[in-house]
Copies of this chain bind each other. A is one copy, B any other.
Amino acid sequence: MRSVSVIGIGETRMGKYPGTLKDMIREAGEKAIRDAGIDKSLLEAIYFGNFNASYWSGQSHMGPLVAETLGLDNLPTIRVEGACATGSLAFRQGLTAVASGLYDVVLVGGAERMTHESTPRITEGLASAADVDLESSVGATFPSLFALAANRYFHEYGNCRDAMAMAAVQNHANAYLNPDAQMHKLITVDIVKNGVPVAYPLTVFDCSLVSDGSAFVVLAASEIADRISGGRIVDVIGSGHAGSSLQISTKNITSFIATTNAAREAYRMAGIKPSDIDLAEVHDCFTITQIINTEDLGFFEKGTGALAVAEGKTARDGLVAINPSGGLKAKGHPIGATGLSQIFEVVTQLRGDAGERQVKNARIGMNHNLGGSAATCVINIFKRRD
């Protein structure tokens, strides 16, 4: 398979978007195409991630909607969905298509509009990503499912509630420096611990946000990337995709096998090890999720992920910068766009364009995106050209 590069990126600000789903798509899509510096006519296909506009906005079939909105009417399009991993799944489909030689240049995007909905409708829409027969229908929404993981984790490795809260504190601090982030508010461990309880031990400050947002990237075969684009190229050097059972009753919830397996595939393809990663956008739907994932990605020993945050190892100047964007927790979590917004951040960092939140000497970056109770995982690894 051919090598593939990211040649353009674009995203909206996350949070309450002052416009329609189409407006959001137009803004982020046009930014990415402009950033790539290519003529639209080079684009051959669109891979689009949306989680649940059919429920929240009554709109399915968003592939052609995106094409039309961007003036690319007759392109082949597809919408993909894998809960909160939706954006990265779209990316992986586009990546495979270019790597295979099917297309040379494709547009990959994602969007979600959520802030117009009531909390019950948001909760219900999100709960559709769990097993509806066995989990959602008996009231097991995602905060409660991940609260189970947190409690079990405390049972196995000791109560690290304060250290875990530091993940939220750090992500808020990073988001404070990110103009696209939804939250620009510094918080403390006490604020996290004393937040409105959601599902013990998680408070509202352990939970990611309800957001509108859209993000797009332009992918091209590496062999033509230089020739067609403005030259601000970042190469995709690894990709992994794995799954596990939809419902949690039969699986380990303090280590996510989907993350472990996807990471193995991505590291092998890239020919690197965890310690080669300079920065990683890691799925932090809840603080506990980030902690467990950073261990499963091989950054830290099992049971030490929270301590690593408290010790500053995940800070922008730490061992591996985790969520320099602010993460799902503080940058925002517009489901279908989240994975692509992670990639937006990784590429921005590898280009050296992250301003005040720049990770120094960032050479290799990763995005890690999870769906449901870790039932879907997609990981991509990116490298700047030296």
Contacts and interface: CB of A to CB of B under 8 A. Distances in A.
A68 B97 CA distance: 27
Given A61-B372, A375-B64, A20 B133 contact: yes
Interface in A279-331: none
A4 to B, nearest CB: 11
A128 B81 contact: no
A-B pairs, top 9 by smallest CB distance, nearest first, are A100-B100, A64-B375, A76-B241, A61-B83, A60-B128, A61-B129, A64-B246, A68-B245, A59-B132
Contact of A63 (B61, B78, B243, B247): B243
A151 interface: no
Interface string A340-368: 00000000000000000000000000000
A1 B96 CA distance: 12
A298 to B, nearest CB: 18
What class of interface size applies to chain A in its complex with B? 35 or more
16 contacts: A1-B101, A1-B102, A20-B133, A55-B55, A58-B127, A61-B83, A61-B128, A61-B246, A64-B243, A64-B246, A67-B246, A74-B243, A74-B258, A78-B81, A96-B96, A96-B100
Interface string A2-18: 00000000000000000
Contacts of A81: 60-61, 78-81
A57 B137 CA distance: 11
Contacts of A60: 51-52, 81, 83, 128-129
Interface in A248-275: 251, 257-258, 261-262
A238 interface: no
A69 to B, nearest CB: 9
Interface of A: 1, 20, 22, 45, 51-52, 54-55, 57-61, 63-65, 67-68, 73-83, 89, 93, 96-97, 99-102, 124-125, 127-133, 136, 241-247, 251, 257-258, 261-262, 371-372, 375-376
A63 B77 contact: no
Contacts of A262: 76
Contacts of A258: 74
Given A60-B51, A61-B375, A128-B61, A243 B100 contact: no
Given A82-B79, A375-B64, A244 B73 contact: yes
